[in-house]
Structure formats: structure tokens, C-alpha cells
Amino acid sequence: MSAEKLQVGKPNPYAVAVEQFMIAADKLNLDDGMKQILSQPKRELIVHFPVRLDDGSYRVFTGFRVQHSLTRGPAKGGIRYHQDVSLDEVKALAMWMTWKCATVGIPYGGAKGGVIVDPRERSLAEMERLTRRFAVEIAPIIGPEIDIPAPDVNTNAQTMAWIMDTISMLKGYPIPGLITGKPIAIEGSLGRNEATARGLVYVIREAVKTVGMNLQGARIAIQGYGNVGSNSARLLQEDGAKIIAVSDVNGGIYSSNGIDTVGALRYNQEHGRLAGFDGTDSITNAELLEVDCDILIPAALESVLTRGNADRVKATMIVEAANGPTTPEADLILHDKGVIILPDILANAGGVTVSYFEWAQNIQGYYWAEDEVNQKLERVMKRSFQDVYETAENNKVDVRTGAYMLAISRVAEVTRLRGIFP
Ligand code: NAD
């Protein structure tokens, strides 16, 4: 593999993704040809494009769209706007999307996109022009039958609406099925906004039952209080769990008595920070990961659990809401300590599952009620947890390797059945 193992200070995400793939591929005894096919992206598009800034000057931005696989269906994956986006990060995220869709058995391959931009430095009008131009640059390889983008870090329903409009203007008719995570008013799906958190909770419910824990009174710490983190906190509290610590980019709060999750969200929106919320003490993000708790949920960034802190983690179970929060070295340390890790490609797959429902509704032109969406999501997540857990038990491996083995074997089977062209 060509990917360098280390960038300065941070593991290269593509090297991590390939390493995780190889562990499961070896267990599955995949031959070298199949390993080569499945460990590389099918297409990598790099675009450099000018955008007119508000002061009348122009600036060239760089963006990526990577399709890792279209073997089981059209490619699917979000678009991320961040100053640190790199091709290797997008390649890793695209590969994880392939395994995620296969883990939950939805008929998609994996893709991801990104633009190197710090949205905090750009106006809304500049972000709209950037989005529309980027959409045109990647237009040759996206569409309802080939590659369906969605929101990711720093992109949202409005961004999706601009992309849908831009491509629809080019074609001359509305194409809602080319992108998911759209506003409800332009054929988004009910339930999509909370879907990742809801899916996470369905998986946690199954997992605690299976391993003999109890969600009632379970002490939970959550890093990241955005869409996934704050919705998971609220839903888990409704299930009787005690949320004892939460954090965001500015730091966190702790209370052994449990935090009022809805009040904390409101406080954060009003004050721009969690610190100072009634009845809580301030903690740092580093402290939150090491808090004495039953379940730890990283719901912010990649590579936060590393060999530097893994041996100090006290949780019994880690549920990966974020993509790639645990490095392979941390994985080994945590596994040796007996910590159960519910991996990202299972735990956070509720988002892409309801994106699939959104696409299916767009293509049918027929829309479902919210409780129908949630019931269908629950069925997918419950069944997927059981499939993954059974694979892990049967092969005497940890849950992550079980999920990878299940996902990779599903993609490999379709690759074999379709055969290699020509
Ligand atoms: P978001 O932007 O709504 O929230 C991100 C949260 O992380 C914010 O509270 C932010 O303050 C916090 N954060 C940022 N940098 C941090 C840092 N250095 N330390 C601690 N906290 C920090 O994003 P989201 O949609 O909730 O996504 C969170 C994670 O879940 C991401 O890894 C994303 O890829 C993953 N994910 C999201 C979805 C989805 O449907 N939204 C689906 C699958 C996976």
C-alpha cells in the first residue's frame, strides 16, 4: 500500500482504513487479487475551480470526489468542507462508506467528497457560489444511478438544496434523487435529521441486552454535542440512562447526578459554550474520554482514542458515533482491557440508512410517515447488530473485525458473482 502511515502527529486515515480492511481480509482468507480490488478506490476525482469572492477577486479552491465501490449499487457518501480535508482522508471515508452500506445491507457502494475551505472565513454568498461551482465540477460522476452525495462536516440541508438545484438547472428538470439530507420542503425524508442518533440508540439497546448490561441508570459520556451527540444524549436519557458528561469543541461539563440534556443544548446555543451550565463542573475533552462511565460515545472527530490515552479509558462499552474515532493501536489496547467497541460502520449507519429511504422515496415519488421511517430503521439496525455480533462470535473476533468480515464478504461475494469485466 502506498499510503504513508503517519502524517505529522496524526495517523493517516487511509492507512488506518487499509489496515482495518487487511485484518478482516486475512481472517476471511481473501486472495491477493480480491484484496487489491477492494482496498483501492474505483475513481478519484480532483478538481481545482475558481470562485468569485465578495470583494470581486477570484480564488481557486481544491475539491475531491472519491468513489470507492459501485459493486453493490450506486456510490453513496457525504461532502465535507474543512481546511484540513485531504485526498487520503476522503479515500478513507469513501472506503468506510462501502463497508457501512454492506454492514446494514443497503444496496450502495461507498463514496465521499470534500473541499479544502474554512467556512468560518467565507460569507454565506461565497459558500453558495463555491457549492454550486463544485457541484458542476463533479457533475460528470454524480447522479441518482451513479453516486448520491449527502451532508457531512460543515455541510447541511441548505448545501444539499443548492447542489440539487444546480444539477437540476443543468439538466432542465428537478432531480431530487441525486442527493440526500435535503430539506423536507424539497423532498427530504422525515426522520433523516435524527436518524444517525436514533440508529445508534437502536444498536445500543440490542448490545446492552446481549452482553447483560442495563441501559436503565447506565452512566454515559458523550464527546461532541452536535447533531449526533446531542440527539443521542436526549434519546438515551429518555431510555433511562444517566448522561454524566458531554463536550463540544470548546470543552465539556460533568455531573455524577446526570445532566439535563435538553437544557444543556439550549444553554450551549445561547452562550456558545457548555461550561457554566447549572449543576455541572467543567471538564476538558481529554478528561471526558477518561471519565468513569459505562458507555463512552465519541461523536466528534477521527482518531481521538489513541495509544496515548486508550489504557486510561474506564468505559465498559465504546459506541463510535463519529467515523474513525479509534486508531488500530488503541483498538488493541481496549480489546485487551475487555472493552466492547461497537464500530462506526455499524453504530452510525442509521444516517445512511435513512438517506437510502430518502432516495427510495424520491425515486418512487411516494412519501412515508415519520413513524414508518423510524420503524424501518429500527428493523435494519437491530438485524444488523445481530448479524455483526453473530459473525464476531462465530469467528471468535472482536465486534469491529466481525463487522468488517461481514461487510467485506458481502462485497466480495457480489464482486465474484458479477465477475471481472471483460
Ligand atoms: P456536527 O457538526 O453537528 O457536530 C460536531 C460536534 O463535534 C460539535 O458539537 C463540535 O463542537 C464538536 N467538535 C468539533 N471539534 C471538536 C474537538 N476538537 N473536540 C471535541 N468536540 C469537537 O456533526 P455531526 O453531524 O453531529 O457529526 C459528528 C460525527 O458523526 C462526525 O464524525 C460525523 O462524520 C459522524 N457522522 C455523522 C452522521 C450524520 O448523519 N450527521 C452520520 C454518520 C456519522
**76, 200, 228, 232: which to mutate for ligand 1, most atoms within 8 A of CB?**
228
| AA letter at 226 | G
CA distance 412 to 219: 39
**Confidence (pLDDT) at 6:** 36
Give the binding-site residues of ligand 1, using a 6 Å CB cut-off: 152-153, 196, 223-229, 247-249, 285, 299-301, 321-323, 348, 351
**pTM value?**
0.95
**Confidence (pLDDT) at 4:** 32
**Confidence (pLDDT) at 8:** 43
Task: List per-block mean pLDDT (blocks of 10 residues) for the chain, which spans 422 residues.
Answer: 41 91 97 98 98 98 98 98 96 97 98 97 98 98 98 94 98 97 97 96 98 97 96 98 97 98 97 96 98 98 93 98 93 96 98 98 97 98 98 97 98 98 96
CA distance 51 to 15: 32
3-class DSSP state of 413:
helix
User: Grid coordinates standing for 239?
Assistant: 431510555
Distance 117 CA to ligand 1 centre (A): 17
**Confidence (pLDDT) at 301:** 84
Distance 301 CA to ligand 1 centre (A): 6
**Confidence (pLDDT) at 11:** 81
Closest atom of ligand 1 to 349 CA is 43
Closest atom of ligand 1 to 196 CA is 40
Distance 150 CA to ligand 1 centre (A): 15
**Confidence (pLDDT) at 302:** 86
Contact 101/109 with Cβ under 8 angstroms? yes
Distance 403 CA to ligand 1 centre (A): 22
| AA letter at 347 | A
Residue closest via CA to ligand 1's atom 43 equals 348
Distance 325 CA to ligand 1 centre (A): 11
- Element containing residue 378 per DSSP (H, E): helix 370-395
3-class DSSP state of 106:
coil
User: Grid coordinates standing for 185?
Assistant: 420542503
Residue closest via CA to ligand 1's atom 1 equals 226
**84, 96, 158, 196: which to mutate for ligand 1, most atoms within 8 A of CB?**
196
**So which residues are the catalytic ones?**
112
Closest atom of ligand 1 to 228 CA is 26
CA distance 286 to 225: 15
**Confidence (pLDDT) at 9:** 56
Residue closest via CA to ligand 1's atom 25 equals 227
* Residue given cell 444498536 in the structure block: 203
User: Grid coordinates standing for 49?
Assistant: 475551480
